[in-house]
């Protein structure tokens, strides 16, 4: 399950989106590995993403792509779940929480940690890296940039940065 936790933290997927991933949603080889969010598993049922913006493409690092590729069983069908439950169907989120997440959090002395914590961690790190609010909205699959700013705006540095040197910028354009 380490691959699931790494995926959640690195991509900010909702747990319902992660357990709904099928191998056909992943492009793990090539210059730009990525995954495509096409569905979610909610209360055991396959549903469309949470909003029309929820269907999205998320880049993966080559290292995470390799981790995911290494866990694909040989002969796994493209429509097989990436993180299957014991019966081969979608994993049960409640069971994952009880059997995996809560014990792992307890072993490390953390309290109040849920799957959504990994989503917020990803968003926080993307903000820290300088990702624009509009791109963050698209990455997270939110319905609007305003919602993204309401949720994560407190993490955006309030400093306005250096002054705009308009004369320097105009000289650069003239060259």
- Domain residue spans in the chain? 2-115
Q: pLDDT band at residue 156, thresholds of 50, 70 and 90?
A: confident
**Tokens coding 162:** 């250096």
Q: In 10 A of CB 152, how many CB atoms? A: 19
Residues with Cβ within 8 Å of residue 84, at least 6 apart in sequence: 90, 91
Residue 111: its pLDDT value, please?
87
Q: What is the mean pLDDT of residues 55-62?
A: 97
CATH class, 2-115 region: mainly alpha
Residue 21: HSE in the Cβ half-sphere, 13 Å Cα cutoff: 26
**Active-site residue, 14 included:** yes
At 6, which helix (H) or strand (E)? Answer: helix 2-11
**Active-site residue, 175 included:** no
User: Cβ(119)–Cβ(8) under 8 Å?
Assistant: yes
Selected catalytic residue, list 39, 71, 98, 119: 119
Residue 155: its pLDDT value, please?
84
**Active-site residue, 36 included:** no
CA angle in degrees (0–180, nearest 5) for 12-13-17: 175
Selected catalytic residue, list 71, 116, 135, 171: 116
Residue 20: its pLDDT value, please?
97
**Active-site residue, 143 included:** no
Residue 63: its pLDDT value, please?
96
Arithmetic mean of pLDDT over the chain: 92
Q: pLDDT band at residue 161, thresholds of 50, 70 and 90?
A: confident
Give the separation between CA 115 and CA 12, rounded to whole angstroms: 10
């Amino acid at each position: 399950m380490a691959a699931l936790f790494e995926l959640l933290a690195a991509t900010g997927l909702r747990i319902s989106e992660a357990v709904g991933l099928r191998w056909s949603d992943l492009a793990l080889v090539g210059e730009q590995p990525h995954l495509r969010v096409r569905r979610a598993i909610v209360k055991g049922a396959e549903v469309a993403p949470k909003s029309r913006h929820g269907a999205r493409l998320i880049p993966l690092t080559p290292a995470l792509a390799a981790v995911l590729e290494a866990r694909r069983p040989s002969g796994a069908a493209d429509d097989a779940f990436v993180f299957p439950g014991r019966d081969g169907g979608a994993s049960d989120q409640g069971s994952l929480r009880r059997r995996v997440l809560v014990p792992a959090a307890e072993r490390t002395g953390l309290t109040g940690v849920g799957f959504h914590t990994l989503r917020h961690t990803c968003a926080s790190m993307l903000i820290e890296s300088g990702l624009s609010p509009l791109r963050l909205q698209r990455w997270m699959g939110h319905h609007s940039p305003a919602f993204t700013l309401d949720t994560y705006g407190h993490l955006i540095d309030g400093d306005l940065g250096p002054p705009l040197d308009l004369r320097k910028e105009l000289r650069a354009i003239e060259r």
